[in-house]
Copies of this chain bind each other. A is one copy, B any other.
Amino acid sequence: MKIYRAGIDIGGTSVKGGLFGPEGQLIRKWSFPTDRSDNGSRILPDTASSIRQIFRQTGLDLKDLAGIGVGVPGAVTDHQTVNRCVNLGWGALPAGPLLSRLMDGIPVRIANDANAAALGESWAGSGRDFDSLVMVTIGTGIGAGLIQGGRIVEGAFGAAGEIGHLLVNEEEQLPCSCGGKGHLEQYASASGLAAQAEKLLASSDTPSLLRRAEHLDAEAVYKAAGLGDPLALKLTDQEARMLGLALSYVSCVFDPGIFLIGGGLSLAGDVLLEGIRRYYRKYAFHASRDTAFALAKLGPDAGIYGAARLIQI
């Protein structure tokens, strides 16, 4: 009986895998380093070998594997073809059919990794009780995954949820990672916050704990804000304001039942969450003012859960 599913999360540093049982329980987790040599051509064969090995180790039969879901750091079309994954060395690649062939025809479905993480939280994390959600990942960049009725909203060009690229400052001269200018993630991502901190310190003589920080990063900013440092508080307030405004825009378009906040910056925890929510309630259209907010809870496992959920049993 086809009652198992595998969820694979391919990242630039490591490939994570999870084997899930009939009720969606995580039976076994594994990971191995991503071999990016030769344009990443070893990644799919390594992945196939790792799945076969897990089945051998657990004494299970591959005949009982309903399918393999895979999250990749890039745009995906039709759950089969990867458009481009710079971090893996992949160009356009029919990753679905390729991996399926390596696994003797077992069905494979692919998704963008941020979308897979959102699907994972929807299935087994903080979004379980909601029909629709937006999971916002705030790390080096800012991305979001949209889920509606248990399915990923991918967008016509695979760009649904690219809220890090909302234009918020038309006067900006410095480029965003995407080549554009003045995008949200230039100010509100972890790296954006660090850049804002540097700029603020340079523009004044106000004493601040941040002037003595070993690394002037997002963690240092939230730590100093926790100690009441005025400049750090100004930065975290601006961070919350920009994200709250951006999420009010998301609600005017998609109106999800809950926003989940994940990614490295979410380690700042409730301070960040409550700050974003306060500004969100200020800016949101009245009908959506009571949208729920929560921190994502699956952490780095969200990707394997969501990848597995791509497979229906």
Residues in chain B near residue A75, CB distance under 8 A: 287
Return the chain B residue nearest A283 by Cβ. B167
Known: A178-B286, A286-B179. A159 touches B252 (CB 8 A): yes
State whether the Cβ of A100 lies closer than 8 Å to any Cβ in chain B. Answer: no
Provide the residues of chain B in CB contact with A179, threshold 8 Å.
286
**With an 8 A cutoff between CB atoms, is A165 at the interface?**
yes
Contact of A287 among B132, B153, B157, B285 (CB under 8 A): B157
| Chain copies in complex | 2
Indicate whether A140 reaches chain B with its CB closer than 8 angstroms: no
Contact of A148 among B153, B167, B251 (CB under 8 A): B153
Chain B proximity mask over A247-275: 1 for CB below 8 Å, otherwise 0: 01111111111100000000000000000
A158 at the interface (CB under 8 A from B): yes
- Chain B residues whose C-beta falls within 8 Å of the C-beta of A286 in the assembled complex: 178-180
Asked if B157 and A255 make an inter-chain contact with CB atoms under 8 angstroms apart, the answer reads: yes
A253 to B160, CA, bound (A): 5
| Distance to closest chain B CB from A292 (angstroms) | 9
Q: A285-B178, A285-B180, A286-B179 are in contact. Are A255 and B156 (CB under 8 A)?
A: yes
Q: Contact at A255–B162, with CB atoms within 8 Å?
A: yes
Q: What 0/1 readout, one digit per residue, does chain A (285-301) give for beta carbons within 8 Å of chain B? A: 11110110000000000
Would you call A163 an interface residue if the criterion is a C-beta within 8 Å of the partner chain's C-beta atoms?
yes
Interface positions of A from 123 to 162, Cβ below 8 Å from B: 130-132, 144, 146, 148, 153-162
Judge if A245 is at the interface, Cβ distance under 8 Å: yes
- Closest Cβ of chain B to A163, distance in Å, is 5
Residues of B within 8 A of A245 (CB): 167
Whether the pair A250, B253 counts as a contact (CB closer than 8 A) is: yes
- The answer to the question of A166 belonging to the interface, with a C-beta cut-off of 8 Å to chain B, is yes
Interchain CA distance A148-B254 in the complex, whole Å: 11
Contact A160 B254 (CB under 8 A): yes
Given the complex of chains A and B, what is the CA–CA distance between A254 and B157 in angstroms? Answer: 10
| Complex alpha-carbon distance, A108 and B179, angstroms | 50
Select from chain B the residue with minimum beta-carbon distance to A241: B170
* B159 near A249: Cβ-Cβ < 8 Å: no
Chain B residues with CB under 8 A of A253: 144, 146, 160-161, 163, 249-250, 253-254
Residue from B130, B249, B255, B258 in contact with A160 in the complex, judged by beta carbons closer than 8 Å:
B255
Q: Which 3 A-B pairs have the closest CB atoms?
A: A155-B255, A156-B257, A159-B287
5 interchain pairs, CB-CB under 8 A: A75-B287, A156-B291, A157-B255, A157-B288, A180-B286
